[in-house]
A = this chain, B = another copy of it.
């Protein structure tokens, strides 16, 4: 892999955000709407980050910066629910890690 720490962090974040979005949708609560939206965004942006980095894309750095923003926003939102929901706590942790790795890449 090109940048294995960044790729590993994006892969974990992609999977965690997909699950967190789905579990939050099932909760049928207005409180979770922003969490759902940010998890859905973050999953897609992480998946794109992986693709563009593995493809040596000239847009890889731009998408990584967007990934830093979406992961940071998603982590902040998931942290609000971390005490009560494992999927939110886990998602917040991998989002923080992913933001950090993309920032450093």
Residues of A within 8 A of B (CB): 1-2, 7, 11-12, 14-16, 18-19, 21-22, 25-26, 28-30, 33, 36-37, 40-41, 43-45, 47-48, 50-52, 54-59, 62-63, 66, 69-70, 73
Contact = CB atoms under 8 A, between A and B. Distances in A.
Copies of this chain in its oligomeric complex: 4
Contacts of A51: 18, 43-44
Given A28-B30, A62-B66, A66-B66, A56 B11 contact: no
Contacts of A69: 59, 62
A40 B55 contact: yes
Prevailing SS type, chain A contact patch:
helix
A37 B15 contact: no
Contact of A57 (B2, B16, B41, B54): B41
A34 to B, nearest CB: 9
B66 A37 contact: no
Given A15-B54, A18-B54, A54-B22, A45 B48 contact: yes
10 contacts: A2-B19, A15-B50, A19-B54, A21-B55, A25-B33, A28-B30, A37-B55, A48-B48, A58-B73, A59-B66
